[in-house]
Amino acid sequence: PYVEKHGILHSGLPNLTSKIPRTTSKAISNFFLSYLLKINEEGGLENVLKLGNDCRQGFYMYKGRHTKQLVCGKFGLKFNDINLLLL
């Protein structure tokens, strides 16, 4: 199954990345580079998390505490709101 979005062809085939590891590595590096540069410019991960919600929503754990309510509910874990942990 393929889907074209914004002029880019996306594949829904499982494990396709194992067939093209070099391309996959470059794509992952390009994706994370912007986040790593932002973390560096803002003075560390904690500062980035305090300043914006875009990175914060991707965290499942922060300082050893579970921060995704859906996961906590599914597995009976204690939920900790990351917004409160960053105060």
Q: Please check whether residue 21 is in contact with residue 28, taking contact to mean a CB–CB distance below 8 angstroms.
A: no
Confidence (pLDDT) at 12: 75
Identify any residues that bridge with 2 across adjacent strands, giving them in sequence order.
Answer: 11
Mean per-residue pLDDT, 45-74: 91
Dihedral, CA of residue 45, residue 47, residue 53 and residue 59, to nearest 10: 30
Mean per-residue pLDDT, 46-66: 89
For 20-53, what is each residue's pLDDT tens digit? 788 888 888 888 898 899 899 999 999 989 987 7
**pTM assigned to the model:** 0.61
Q: Which two tokens stand for residue 47?
A: 């500062």
Distance in angstroms (rounded) separating the CA atoms of residues 7 and 1: 16
How far, rounded to the nearest angstrom, does the alpha carbon of residue 9 sit from its chain's CA centroid?
Answer: 22
The confidence band for 64, taking pLDDT boundaries of 50, 70 and 90, is very high
**Residue 84 is which amino acid?**
L
3-state SS assignment for residue 2: strand
3-state SS assignment for residue 58: coil
